[in-house]
A = this chain, B = another copy of it.
Amino acid sequence: MAKVLTPRSENYSQWYNDLVLKAELAENSAVRGSMVIKPYGYAIWEKMQRQLDRMFKDTGHENAYFPLFIPKSFFSKEAAHVDGFAKECAVVTHYRLKNDPDGDGVIVDPDAKLEEELIVRPTSETIIWSTYKNWIQSYRDLPIKINQWANVVRWEMRTRLFLRTAEFLWQEGHTAHETKEEAIEETVTMINVYADFAEKYMAVPVLKGVKTENERFAGALDTYTIEALMQDGKALQSGTSHFLGQNFAKAFDVKYTSREGKEEYVWATSWGVSTRLMGALIMAHSDDNGLVLPPKLAPIQVVIVPIYRKEEEFKQVSEKAKEIVSKLRDMNIDVKFDDNDKKKPGWKFAEYELKGVPVRLAIGPRDVQNGTVEVARRDTLEKNVVPMDGVEKYIQTLLDEIQDNIYNKALNFRAEKTTRVDSYEEFKKVLKEKGGFILAHWDGTAETEQRIKDETKATIRCIPLESEPEEGICMVTGKPSKQRVVFAQAY
């Protein structure tokens, strides 16, 4: 069968686009920069959502829903925030259409102009903090720990499916606290939740760190990030958690009476992950044959393909297949028995390989006779014939093994692609020839950071949380540095 994907070695970017389209994950829509998330892609997103939602609730958060629209005046109350988002906002100016008196279409009714324009939320700090003002009077009203699942719009000029789209789906947590310490603790808790989710569910190892001032969220005092490494050696920022200090409380005048009876501004955090995670998931593991999905997020974890010529054979094979389906379902394993008789087994094999189904079983008449079943795993493409009896336990173990294997593969890849350099020359050489994460000393100034970015397109992905302090000198300016930071070219 002809390969349906451009090989990664030939054109990584084209491979990604081919894969997203051919595996039926998403496609571009008629609306510039907005995608359609197709059912198979959405099913993966639903599994992500369900797990993240559980983790948010387990850490004491509740869901709620705030308006899509933000009055323009709210939006501009926090100065850094509006600077960060003003250039990419969709603006609603009118609330009615009418028939075109000069034609047969409709036009915007000029009489239905809004007094104040509404911004389609690019993020919800402003509308939420304007609401929290009414909810918070005393320390007894704190903390507030709310999450929202929502769509947001940022008018991106260059878009790519899942990675950068004008509209995307995400969750945004917005919490309010009595003290600075508690808010920072929340910020760290949530970056840890994201890291756990990425590593244990997506099987994507991530570096945890803090952003430099240049790369911070607009309005934050500190932005924590998880950074993943893609197969082309580029980094992908996969989730962020922001310590917002009292910036939004001050902008919206949100004060509380403290335990000591004093009026204080409330401390804030916000944190989010989006459908961008789909891009990370796809790019981290997949190969030239198609998607490779970690079992914990695969909509179909096991597919069973019957092999037969005659109707009688189909009956025998089906009977066995259905027994396995029933056992796997009892174990909460998502299994599909593909009994479509319009498609041949070879077509099905290729299809499920393309779609990244972790385990494929094939059962033919000889298997029925011998009490066996052929088990193929997607990650290594290995096949094994195993006894039908007890196959459900074999599969359960295999799913765990695949989950671990995919993670370890990505971890090894990252280790290979992580380089410590001590000179700017070496930095540029590694960046060009090898890519990946580069650990180097930097003098801590925005100027040097900008110069490196301009000259190499590499940015500081983060100042890593889990690393030893190490005295050194900045590779560019020779000024002193106390810790290596992580550079990479990034999505």
A residues neighboring B (CB under 8 Å)? 27, 29-31, 34-39, 42-43, 46, 62-76, 82, 86-99, 105-106, 108, 117-120, 127, 130-131, 134, 140, 146, 150-151, 153, 155, 167, 169, 342
CB contacts (< 8 Å) of A38 on chain B: these are 64
Chain A to chain B contacts (Cβ below 8 Å), 7 pairs? A30-B67, A30-B71, A35-B67, A86-B99, A89-B95, A108-B117, A140-B342
A248 → chain B, closest Cβ, in Å?
Answer: 15
Residue of A86, A97, A105 most packed against chain B (CB within 10 A): A97
Q: Is the CB of B93 within 8 A of A93?
A: yes
Q: Is the CB of B64 within 8 A of A39?
A: yes
Residue in contact with A91 in the complex, picked from B42, B82, B97, B130, CB distance below 8 Å: B97
A132 → chain B, closest Cβ, in Å?
Answer: 10
Q: Is the CB of B66 within 8 A of A36?
A: yes
CB contacts (< 8 Å) of A87 on chain B: these are 96-98
Q: Is the CB of B91 within 8 A of A108?
A: yes
CB contacts (< 8 Å) of A69 on chain B: these are 31, 34, 90, 153, 167
CB contacts (< 8 Å) of A146 on chain B: these are 39
A97 → chain B, closest Cβ, in Å?
Answer: 4
User: Nearest B residue to A150 by beta-carbon distance?
Assistant: B151
Q: A42-B64, A90-B92, A98-B86 are in contact. Are A31 and B105 (CB under 8 A)?
A: no
CB contacts (< 8 Å) of A64 on chain B: these are 36-39, 42
Q: A36-B131, A93-B108, A151-B151 are in contact. Are A43 and B72 (CB under 8 A)?
A: no
CB contacts (< 8 Å) of A88 on chain B: these are 95-96
A134 → chain B, closest Cβ, in Å?
Answer: 8
CB contacts (< 8 Å) of A71 on chain B: these are 30-31
Q: Is the CB of A67 within 8 A of B97?
A: no
User: Nearest B residue to A104 by beta-carbon distance?
Assistant: B76
Q: Is the CB of B42 within 8 A of A63?
A: yes
Give the number of copies in the complex: 2
Q: Is the CB of A90 within 8 A of B98?
A: no
CB contacts (< 8 Å) of A98 on chain B: these are 86-87
CB contacts (< 8 Å) of A167 on chain B: these are 67-69
A122 → chain B, closest Cβ, in Å?
Answer: 11
CB contacts (< 8 Å) of A96 on chain B: these are 86-89, 91, 155
A452 → chain B, closest Cβ, in Å?
Answer: 29
CB contacts (< 8 Å) of A35 on chain B: these are 67
Q: Is the CB of B91 within 8 A of A119?
A: no
Q: Is the CB of B91 within 8 A of A65?
A: no
Q: How far is the CA of A88 from the CA of B92 in the complex (A)?
A: 13
Q: How far is the CA of A117 from the CA of B117 in the complex (A)?
A: 15
Q: Is the CB of B82 within 8 A of A106?
A: yes
A115 → chain B, closest Cβ, in Å?
Answer: 10
User: Nearest B residue to A50 by beta-carbon distance?
Assistant: B50
Q: How far is the CA of A38 from the CA of B135 in the complex (A)?
A: 11
Q: Is the CB of A34 within 8 A of B68?
A: yes
Q: Is the CB of A31 within 8 A of B118?
A: yes
CB contacts (< 8 Å) of A131 on chain B: these are 29-30, 36
User: Nearest B residue to A53 by beta-carbon distance?
Assistant: B46
Q: Is the CB of B39 within 8 A of A62?
A: yes
User: Nearest B residue to A89 by beta-carbon distance?
Assistant: B97
Q: How far is the CA of A151 from the CA of B66 in the complex (A)?
A: 11
A428 → chain B, closest Cβ, in Å?
Answer: 35
Residue in contact with A37 in the complex, picked from B65, B68, B169, CB distance below 8 Å: B65
Q: Is the CB of B117 within 8 A of A67?
A: no
Q: How far is the CA of A177 from the CA of B155 in the complex (A)?
A: 36
Q: Is the CB of A92 within 8 A of B91?
A: yes
User: Nearest B residue to A152 by beta-carbon distance?
Assistant: B68
A261 → chain B, closest Cβ, in Å?
Answer: 17
Q: A39-B146, A43-B63 are in contact. Are A30 and B91 (CB under 8 A)?
A: no
Q: Is the CB of A65 within 8 A of B169?
A: yes
A22 → chain B, closest Cβ, in Å?
Answer: 14
Q: Is the CB of B36 within 8 A of A62?
A: no
Q: Is the CB of A31 within 8 A of B127?
A: yes
Q: How far is the CA of A69 from the CA of B39 in the complex (A)?
A: 19
A355 → chain B, closest Cβ, in Å?
Answer: 14
Residue of A29, A69, A146 most packed against chain B (CB within 10 A): A69
A341 → chain B, closest Cβ, in Å?
Answer: 13
CB contacts (< 8 Å) of A27 on chain B: these are 134
Q: How far is the CA of A489 from the CA of B173 in the complex (A)?
A: 42
Residue in contact with A76 in the complex, picked from B36, B105, B140, CB distance below 8 Å: B105
Q: Is the CB of B94 within 8 A of A91?
A: yes
